[in-house]
Structure 1
C-alpha cells in the first residue's frame, strides 16, 4: 500500500511504514509504532538497529517503584496521516489495561521538515486518570551503532565539549556501559547534541523550546557496544489530575554530514532568530561601555592590597583597560559562609578605598556572590528561617551541595523564584553596588536551573520553566535598585542561551579544562557556544595562572600549604599550558583573563606575561571580529604537534590527593576564523611554543563568501601591514611565527579607507 503525503512518499509495506524525503528516511513498524530506521539517505547510514525495534517513548510514574508505561503495553495501536504542515504521521497507542488510567492514550506525531534532513517529534498523553506521571522520555533511540574511525560526540556542556572516542567513553570503565546526561537550561548551553563520524554522517538531536522548559538530554552505551539516546521531559505538578499533557515544544531528530561546527551552524540558523538573541544585552546595547573596552581581566582573591595594585600594575604594562574579577572579598570563608558576605573581610572603609583606587586608575571591579547557595552552618540560616525558601527534594528535604574539600560544610540551594531569596540577594547586591561602589556582580552558579518540589513557593512543582522566570526577576530587581543611569554589570558562571537577555558577561572556563579535570576524562573543550552566539554575548574566563593556587586565610590552618605558602611560582615546564589557555581564549573570541596575578610576575615570568599581553593587544585591534564577529570554520593548519606538560592543580582539584601532572599532545599553533558585520574575514593564529614555528594553511575565498577577491593585511601588536592579495582561487598561506608569536590575517574585499 502506497500513501502520498504532501508530495513525499510514505509506504506502508507488510513490515515497515516509511516517512522519507531525499535526505532523511524514517521507518516504523505499522503494527506497534516502533522505530525501525532513522537513516541518512546520502550515505545509507542508519542510526537505529533495524533488527530490534525501538520503543520511542516511556512514561515514568511518580515515586519509588512507580509504574512505567511503554508502547508494548498497549493492546491497541493505529497510525494515520497528519494533515497540514508538511508530511507527517500520528502514531497512537491505547487500551493499556490500567485500572488507574483506563482511558490512557499516547499520541506521537512525527513530521519531516520540508526537504531538510530534520524531523519534528511531538507527544501528547490523553486521559492519564489517576496515574501521576513524573516524566516522559521522548524520543528514545536504542541500538545506535558505532560509526567507526573518526567518530565524535559533541555536547554544548556550557562552552562545549568534544569526545573523540565516544566508544570508549560510553563503554565506561568496566566496559559494561555508561550513561551520561545533561540538564537544560543549565549545564547545556544549547538544546542540541550530535554523534557523528568526522566527514561522514551524523545524528543531530535537538529541541526547539523557546520558553526554557526543564529537560534532560541523555546518551548511554550498552554492553554490546550499541548506544541509546533520549530526551527527558519532567512534568509540572505531576501528582495533579489532568485530562491531557502535551509537550510544549518539539524534539528534533535528523542527520547531517560534517562535524560539530556543521551542527553549530545549523543550530545558529535557528537560535539567532529566537527572542534570547534578539533581546540579548549585547545586541540591544545594554552592556556597560567599560565592559566592551576591557583589555584583560585579573582574577584575584582576598583583600584589596592583593587584588587592586596587581591589576593596576598590569594595566600600566599592557596599555589597555584591566578590570578586576574579585573573589574572597567577603566576610566569611569561601564556600562555607554564603550569603553572609557583609561586611568585607578587610572592613568597609578599606574595601571602599580599594575600589576607589581602581576607579581612579580607570579600572572596574566585579565581586563574587554565589547566586543560589546558603550555607547551613551560618547563623543566618537559622535566624532568618531560610530553610523554608530552599529548593526541596521530592521527599521534602532541603537540597544541599558541598564544595569545600578542606571544611566540607553543606550549603542549601535557594529557590530563585521566591521573593524572599530574591530580596535577600538583591539587598546584598545593592549594598555592594551602591554602598561600596563596586561595578558589577559575578553571580556564581547563575547559569543553572533546578527542579523544586516545594508547593508553598508559588511555582509548579517538578518540571516547568519557572526557574528562568525567577532569574529574570532577580536580575531586574538588582538593576532597578541602581541609581538612574548607573551601568550595573551582571556576570554568570557558565554560558546559556536563555540568559543572554539578563547577563552582560558569561564565564566559560573550559579553555582551562586541563587545570581542574581528569586528563583521561575523554573530553576536550570546543567553542560550541561561541560558534552559535558569539555576536550575541560576551564571554571571558581562564584559570590560566603562573602560580600555585591561593588558599583562603579563613580556611582551616592545618591544610594551608607549607612555606613558601600559596602563590608559589609554577615551574616553567608548564609554560606551554599557559600559552595554550591564553591562545584558546584569543582565537575563540573570549575576553582574556589571568588568575592569581602579582606584579612581580612581569619580571619573574617575562615570557609568559609578554605572551598574554601580546594576544590582548592584537585582540584590541580587531574587536569587530573577536568581540562582535560571527564564528566561522577555521582553516586546517599544517603545523607539528608538541608535548605539553599539564598542571592539574586549582583551588580544590588535587589539593587533597590525586594526580597533578600529565602530558598531552597539542598542535604547536591554533587558529580561529571570524566574520565582521560588514563581511570581511579574519583568521587569528597563535603559537603555543617558545620557539619559531612555521604555519601554513589554504584559504578558500569562496568558502568564506569572498569569491570576488581582495586584499590581505597582517595584524600584530604593533599594527597593520599589507600581506598580499587574493582572487577567487584557493590561496596558500605561509606564516613564520616567532617564539610565542601570534597574528591576525584580515581578508577584505577592498582596502580600508
Structure 2
C-alpha cells in the first residue's frame, strides 16, 4: 500500500510494516521492522510478540486511512493508520489470554544513521534534561546514564522515559534535506518510553514504548491518543515549533503563563541569584561534619559580598542541612542545629530581601545512611514500609538503584497514601520556618515517581497512566499546602504534566555536554509558563577539564542565562565560587571577578530593559549568528568538542517586539556577524538601555567585549500592517 501526500510518500506492506517513507525527496527508512511489538506478560522474562508473528492479517482501506487487524491465539490487535499532514498510528486490542499486555512499541521504523559523526548531516533532537541535539549516537550509548535501556524495575534516575528526565513526548531527526517529527498526542501525558535506540551501526529506531496500564482481567483496550509522523524541512527550531503548536492547543490542566500567574511570589520575576552550598561536608559522600558555613549565619558575609558585587537578590539554597542525614528521605526534620537556628537564619535573609531554599531528596525510604549513623531500620519495620515500597514483577523483594552510595533505601510507591502523607508532613514542617523554596524532588528527575509492580497495591500491577495521576495528585496537595509561602521544584526541569506545580527546578543541561550539544528546547517550549535555575552543575568538572578549558564555566552560566533561567553559583565553605557541585578541586577556581561581573550585567538586563523578553518572553528562532568555534576539553578525552564563541537566543515580548541576546564567555573580544536580512534593522542596547549602535537590515559584523552580554532590539515589519515592531 502506497499513499502519496504533498509532503511525503509512504509505503506499508501487507503486514503493515513501514517499508518506505520519502519526505522532501529523502528516503527515511533504511530497514523493514515489524509495525509493532508488545510484551505479553509482565517483566523482562515475558515474551515479546511482533506484528509479523500474527496468525492472520487483514487490511481494510477507507478514505484517508487503513485498518490492519492482527489475529493471534485468543488475542486480536487492530492498528489504524490515518494519512493526512501527519501519518497517525493508533491501536486497540482484545486480549482473552488471561495474561496482561505490559507495553506496546509503535510504530517501529528504522531511520538512517547518517549523523554528522558518520560523515552525514543528520542530527537527533530530544527533550532530555532541557534539550539535547545529538550528532553522534555512539557517544550517547557510551555514556551509561544516557545509553538506551528499556524501562524496567528497578527504576533508574536517568531512564529515557516521559514524563521524567524526558520532559516532552516527541523526538525529531533531520538533516540538510529533510526531517521527521515523531510525537505522541497524549493529552493525559501518561507514562511512556521516549528515546533513540541504535539498530547496529547503520540504523536508528525512534523508540516510543506505550504502557496501557490495565489489569489482566480487562480484556479490551483502545489507545486514547495517536503516535504521529510528520515530515519537515528545517532544524531543531522547526521540530520544536511543531510540538509547541500542539502543546498550546492541549496545555496541561492548571498551566498558566508567568505574566498572568498571580500565585507566583514577586521574587520569582526579580531575577534572584541562586547560591548553593552544603553546611556539612564538602561533597556528596564526604564525612558529614559541620563545615565553616555552619552555623547558618556564617554564610551571611559571603552572601552579602556576592549581592554587593552583582546587585542581585540572593537565594541561599542549602544542601546537607537535614538533621537526619543528607540525601536520606523521607525524614529530614529537624534541621541541623535545630528549628530556631534555621528560622533565625531565614529571618536574617529576609531582612536583606534575600531568600532561603533547601534541597530535599525525593520519594524514597532510607533504612540507613552511609554518611553518618542515621538508622531507620526499626522504624521501617514498625511502619510496615515493606507494604509501601515499589516492588518488582512476581516478587516481594524490593531493590533500588537511586543514590545507594549515600544510603540504603527503597523507592516508595506513589500510589500509597503513606507516601503522599509523609512528604506532605515533612514539607509542612519546612515551610513553618519561612523557607521560600523547596527542591522537594531531588533524584526524581522531571518530577517522576518510580516503577512499581506490586499486586498488593490498588494500582494495576504494571506501569501506566496511574503513575502520572498519582504524582499529579500529590503535587496538587503540596502546592495547596505551600501556597503563598514556598515554591517547589525537582531535579532536572519539570516534565510537562508537572509544570503547573513545580515552578522552579534544578536544571541538568550540563549533562548533555557528555554526549552532544545542549539546546534550549525546554525554554523554547515552556519559558512563558515556568523557568528554572541553571543548576548546581554536578558532574561538570568531569565533562569539562577546567584547567584546559576554564572558559567552560562561564559558557555554561551564559547558556543558562540566555535560556531565561535564574543563574546559579556553587560556593565552598570559604565562600569561593566552585566549578560545580562535588568538585573536589580547592586550588584552581573560577575567576570570581569575571563571573560576578557577568552576573551583574545579566541581572540588570533581566530586571529592566530585558525583562519583557528574558523574564516574560516567548522564545523564537534568533537571527543567524556566525562566530568562531571554540574547542572545549573533557577530563576523559583529548578530542575537544566545539561550541560557538558567541551564544544567542531571541524572544518576543507580549507587545510583539523582539529582542535577541548575544553572550561571550572568553577573556577576549569576539568577532561575529548577525544576519538581519528580512528585518528592518536593530539597535544594540546595553544593560542600562543605552543604544550602542544602530544596525542595518543586512549581514552585519560585530565586535563584542570579553565575557559580556548584549541585547539587540529587532525592528521587524509586521506582515499584515507594515508597522515596525
Fold shared, TM-score > 0.5 on shorter chain:
yes
Q: Distance in 2 between matches of 1:603 and 1:284?
A: 37
Q: Is the 2:309–2:596 contact (alpha carbons within 8 Å) kept by the matching residues of 1?
A: no
**How much does 1:35 deviate?**
2.1
Q: 1:201 aligns with which of 168, 178, 181?
A: 178
Q: Distance in 1 between matches of 2:643 and 2:166?
A: 26
Q: Distance in 2 between matches of 1:546 and 1:123?
A: 42
Q: Distance in 2 between matches of 1:548 and 1:225?
A: 33
Q: Distance in 2 between matches of 1:571 and 1:216?
A: 35
TM-score for the superposition, normalised by structure 2? 0.84
Q: Distance in 2 between matches of 1:205 and 1:571?
A: 38
1:279-321 deviations in Å (ceiling 9; x for gaps): 2363533222211113311122214235444233322322232
Q: Distance in 1 between matches of 2:2 and 2:319?
A: 58
1:701-721 deviations in Å (ceiling 9; x for gaps): 4xxxxx5x3x73333233322
**How much does 1:92 deviate?**
1.3
Q: How does 1:706-717 map onto structure 2 within 5 Å? A: 709=680, 712-717=682-687
Partner of 1:506: 505
Q: Is the 2:619–2:650 contact (alpha carbons within 8 Å) kept by the matching residues of 1?
A: yes
Q: Is the 1:61–1:131 contact (alpha carbons within 8 Å) kept by the matching residues of 2?
A: yes
Q: Distance in 1 between matches of 2:251 and 2:533?
A: 23
Partner of 1:14: none
- Whether 1:534 and 2:533 are equivalent positions in the alignment is no
Q: 2:407 aligns with which of 383, 406, 409?
A: 409
Change (3 A) 1:331 1:281: farther
Partner of 2:418: 420
Q: Distance in 1 between matches of 2:656 and 2:82?
A: 36
Q: Is the 1:208–1:251 contact (alpha carbons within 8 Å) kept by the matching residues of 2?
A: yes
Q: 2:83 aligns with which of 105, 112, 115?
A: 112
**How much does 1:599 deviate?**
5.0
Q: Distance in 2 between matches of 1:672 and 1:311?
A: 30
Q: Distance in 2 between matches of 1:121 and 1:338?
A: 42
Q: Distance in 1 between matches of 2:19 and 2:306?
A: 61
Would you say how many aligned residue pairs link Structure 1 and Structure 2?
662
Q: Is the 1:300–1:307 contact (alpha carbons within 8 Å) kept by the matching residues of 2?
A: no
Partner of 1:736: 703
Q: Which one has more relative contact order, counting CA pairs under 8 Å at least 6 apart?
A: 2
SS of the residue aligned with 1:195?
strand
**How much does 1:661 deviate?**
9.2
Partner of 1:587: 562
Change (3 A) 1:571 1:18: closer
Q: How does 1:559-570 map onto structure 2 within 5 Å? A: none
- Whether 1:153 and 2:119 are equivalent positions in the alignment is no
List gaps (5 residues or longer) in structure 2: 151-158, 280-293, 369-374, 578-588, 718-722
Q: Distance in 1 between matches of 2:399 and 2:187?
A: 28
- 273-282 vs 203-212, which moves further: 273-282
**How much does 1:577 deviate?**
1.3
- Whether 1:128 and 2:121 are equivalent positions in the alignment is no
Change (3 A) 1:157 1:736: same
TM-score for the superposition, normalised by structure 1? 0.81
Larger radius of gyration: 1
Partner of 1:88: 65
Partner of 2:2: 18
Q: Distance in 2 between matches of 1:247 and 1:138?
A: 11
Q: Distance in 1 between matches of 2:694 and 2:519?
A: 31
Partner of 1:718: 688
Partner of 1:318: 310
Change (3 A) 1:600 1:120: closer
Partner of 1:60: 39
Q: Is the 2:310–2:596 contact (alpha carbons within 8 Å) kept by the matching residues of 1?
A: no
Q: Distance in 1 between matches of 2:536 and 2:97?
A: 53
Partner of 1:613: 600
Change (3 A) 1:545 1:190: closer
Q: 2:642 aligns with which of 640, 645, 665?
A: 665
Partner of 2:321: 329
SS of the residue aligned with 2:598?
helix
Partner of 1:28: 12
Q: Distance in 2 between matches of 1:225 and 1:418?
A: 45
1:623-662 deviations in Å (ceiling 9; x for gaps): 211121111222332222234455x6xxxxxxxxxx5998
Q: Is the 1:297–1:592 contact (alpha carbons within 8 Å) kept by the matching residues of 2?
A: yes
Partner of 1:472: 472
Q: Distance in 1 between matches of 2:348 and 2:637?
A: 38
**How much does 1:573 deviate?**
5.8
Q: Distance in 1 between matches of 2:557 and 2:601?
A: 10
